[in-house]
Amino acid sequence: MKIFTSAQLHELDQYTIEHEPIKSIDLMERAAKAITHAIMEEWTNATPIVVFAGSGNNGGDALAVARLLIAENYNVKVVLFNISNKLSDDCATNKKRLLENKHFKDFTEVTVSFDPPELTADTLVIDGLFGTGLNKSLAGGFASLVKYINQSPSQVVSIDVPSGLLAEDNTSNVRANIIQANLTLTLHQKKLSFLLEEAQQFIGRLKVLDIRLHEDYIAKSKAQYNILEESEVRNMMLTRSDFAHKGMMGNALIIAGSYGMAGAAVLASKACLRAGVGKVTVHTPKRNYDVMQISVPEAVMQIDHEETYFSEAVDTEDFDALGIGPGLGQLENTAIAMISQIRRAQCPVVADADAINMLASHRAWMQQLPKNIIMTPHAAEFDRLVNIPSTSDYERLEHARQMAQNLHAYIIIKGHYSALCTPTGNVIFNSTGNSGMATAGSGDVLTGIITGLLARGYEHEAACCVGMYLHGLAGNIAAKTLGKESLIASDLINHLPEAFQRLKD
């Protein structure tokens, strides 16, 4: 699914108006009906409602919603802010329609200052102050109003976006001046900022409302950001021939595990096997031999000559993919062996965990990375890699996008919506996964899955997309059975077969 910018969403509205065709006021009415229906599903007409409307089209939506709720016998108070004494055309029309109701009296139009109404725990606030057209932080009276609403005990529903939250970049925004909604009813699609952790405290629960915007614009317009959907993943899946043998299904090499961290090698190699690869070889220090043989009998052992750490690059000519980094440690000898291994690799490479940490401490090596390398850092690992502390999730995402383009690499920033940054400058957000996966070893499992898919024959972008999706889907399946609190990394591997089966079915 494409994630359009606020400018593109405005274009989409205009395209719909011109090509459906439909009048803009009627499109606003369509949106208002969808919003009203969503509100009525959750609150009865015994709930007193206060509507705060701005002077633009977000305010027009709010006024239309107020009118529709009044028609359903809701007790509604409306406050319209018209500080500049200029309403958008559709907002003015909806003000007129609202006031045509002779029985509706509780309307205040604010042009200078006002005394805010009392907001009790029983009150529902509908926030229609500012929408996606906002391009700077709120200040002055609107900032004070936002703080007043946030400090009240009332439930808050925001229309499209919580007022004060920018649709894309909130790096320089003033957090205290953003509405903290309990429910956000957004129109057509999630906004980019909704996919970032820093916005979650403001949007609350999220519902996306389909208001039937024009499919032609959606189909033909390019988007820099996308959300991965199940149908897309299904189309990327490779089929397994009935006459396949292990030699046809790929040979993967996992280089992982220092002494005391054999578990990382176990998780990565097991996940690699579960990803459908024909054969997995694990290169690990001597001390890990017994653990690996017992834990992963299906894997072939390739033992480093050092007792406790990875010390020397190995030949990759016979391998179809290399995964390197989980539990590897950060000794200087290991770092030298790691960059030598990556440089001489004759197959696709997935670098994770300590491989990334060692690159961060030897940043000059970044220019030696092969094209199309896949790196899977979490946020802190990525910040160390670029040596620039990110002040926002958006800023980190932009750094990752630029790095992916400059290095011609695939970079997955792991998180609730893991973000794959591609060499073309596009970003693909994963749509599966849950907070139970925030546990040690989860990243090692992802490394194993993607390495296995690469060895199996998937192209780089497809391996990343299918790998992220399967990883999160296995986590969702595991969480349904085990709950989020008790989820551990090996549960993801145990539920990979069901995740695969669900996509195949």
Give per-residue pLDDT as tens, 420-470. 999 999 999 999 999 999 999 999 999 999 999 999 999 999 999 999 999
Residue 284 domain boundaries? 230-504
Q: What is the pLDDT of residues 12-63, one digit of tens each?
A: 999 999 999 999 999 999 999 999 999 999 999 999 999 999 999 999 999 9
Both 180 and 312 in a single domain? no
Q: What is the pLDDT of residues 314-373, one digit of tens each?
A: 999 999 999 999 999 999 999 999 999 999 999 999 999 999 999 999 999 999 999 999
Q: What are residue 377's phi and psi, to 5 degrees?
A: -80, 150
Close Cβ partners of 113 (under 8 Å, ≥ 6 residues apart): 141
Kindly report the average pLDDT of the chain as a whole number.
97
pLDDT band per the 50, 70, 90 thresholds, residue 388: confident
Whether the CB-CB separation of 346 and 317 falls below 8 Å is answered with yes
Domain count within the chain: 2
Boundary-marking domain end, from 223, 257, 284: 223
- Reference 433, options 495, 501, 355, 390; nearest CA is 495
pLDDT at 15: 98
Both 334 and 240 in a single domain? yes
pLDDT band per the 50, 70, 90 thresholds, residue 391: confident
- Reference 278, options 247, 302, 300, 254; nearest CA is 247
Residue type, 202: F
Both 162 and 255 in a single domain? no
Tokens at 149, concatenated:
């609403």
This prediction's pTM: 0.96
Least confident of 108-122, 155-169, 378-392: 378-392
The whole-number average pLDDT for the span 133-141 is 96
Boundary-marking domain end, from 223, 253, 271: 223
Tokens at 393, concatenated:
């999730």
Report how far residue 308's alpha carbon sits from residue 306's, in angstroms, rounded to the nearest whole number.
6
Boundary-marking domain end, from 182, 198, 223: 223
Check which CATH number belongs to the domain holding 98 and give it.
3.40.50.10260
Strands (E), 4-75: 49-53
Q: What is the pLDDT of residues 143-173, one digit of tens each?
A: 999 999 999 999 999 999 999 999 999 999 9
The whole-number average pLDDT for the span 374-387 is 96
The DSSP code for 210 is -
pLDDT at 161: 98
Report how far residue 375's alpha carbon sits from residue 361's, in angstroms, rounded to the nearest whole number.
16
Provide the edge-to-edge strand list for the sheet that holds 225-227.
2-3, 225-227, 427-429, 419-421, 410-413, 374-375, 349-351, 321-324, 251-255, 279-284, 300-303
The whole-number average pLDDT for the span 198-215 is 97
Both 214 and 356 in a single domain? no
The DSSP code for 484 is S
Both 360 and 287 in a single domain? yes
Both 256 and 219 in a single domain? no
pLDDT band per the 50, 70, 90 thresholds, residue 505: confident
Beta strands 419-421 and 427-429, pairing class: antiparallel
pLDDT at 194: 98
pLDDT at 83: 95
pLDDT band per the 50, 70, 90 thresholds, residue 252: very high
Q: What is the pLDDT of residues 458-467, one digit of tens each?
A: 999 999 999 9
Least confident of 212-221, 365-374, 389-398: 389-398
Quote the percentage of the chain above a pLDDT of 90: 98
The DSSP code for 111 is S
The whole-number average pLDDT for the span 228-238 is 97
- Reference 429, options 222, 225, 230, 236; nearest CA is 225
Both 491 and 387 in a single domain? yes
Check which CATH number belongs to the domain holding 282 and give it.
3.40.1190.20
Both 183 and 264 in a single domain? no
Report how far residue 318's alpha carbon sits from residue 305's, in angstroms, rounded to the nearest whole number.
20
Both 158 and 240 in a single domain? no
Close Cβ partners of 304 (under 8 Å, ≥ 6 residues apart): 283, 284, 285, 286, 310, 311, 312
Both 339 and 438 in a single domain? yes
**pLDDT of 113 over the 90 cut:** no
Report how far residue 383's alpha carbon sits from residue 417's, in angstroms, rounded to the nearest whole number.
17
Both 188 and 259 in a single domain? no
**pLDDT of 390 over the 80 cut:** no
pLDDT band per the 50, 70, 90 thresholds, residue 219: very high
Q: What is the pLDDT of residues 472-487, one digit of tens each?
A: 999 999 999 999 999 9
pLDDT at 151: 98
Both 205 and 268 in a single domain? no
